[in-house]
Amino acid sequence: MPAVRDFERAHDWLARSGRRRAEAFVRRVQAGSERLEEEPLAGPLAEDIEPEGTLRSLSIAPHRLLYRATSTTVTILRVWDSRRDPATLLLPADATEGLASGEGEQN
């Protein structure tokens, strides 16, 4: 899953410059994930990510958790470095499955 790969790459890169930075990153991702469990709509719609308005984003600076929320689940799709150009973001093929018609989406 791309989110796991993103997380591992960011962690490994941060670990090269110090264990504390990598550990802080892990804590931020963990806290963000826990927040989404409690408040799936905590993050605003990610208007800068195509298809526009179908995914949500929670900031864990300088990264973003890009996710989709349905009535029953929150799926984190990417752990994206917000300093990167969102136009280069590739989402999993099923990232917006069922959301084109608004099915299951919470606003």
Q: What is the CATH number of the domain that holds 45?
A: 3.30.2310.20
Tokens at 16, concatenated? 């090269």
Tokens at 31, concatenated? 């806290």
Q: Is residue 75 part of a domain?
A: yes
DSSP sequence for the chain: -HHHHHHHHHHHHHHHT-HHHHHHHHHHHHHHHHHHHH-TT-SPB-TTSSSTTSSEEEEETTEEEEEEEBSS-EEEEEEEETTS-GGG----TTTTTTTTT-TTB--
The boundaries of the domain holding residue 10 are 2-83
Number of domains in the chain: 1
Q: Is residue 57 part of a domain?
A: yes
Q: Is residue 9 part of a domain?
A: yes
| Residue-by-residue pLDDT tens, the chain, 107 positions | 789 999 999 999 999 999 999 999 999 999 999 999 999 999 999 988 877 788 999 999 899 999 999 878 899 999 988 888 777 776 766 665 544 434 344 44
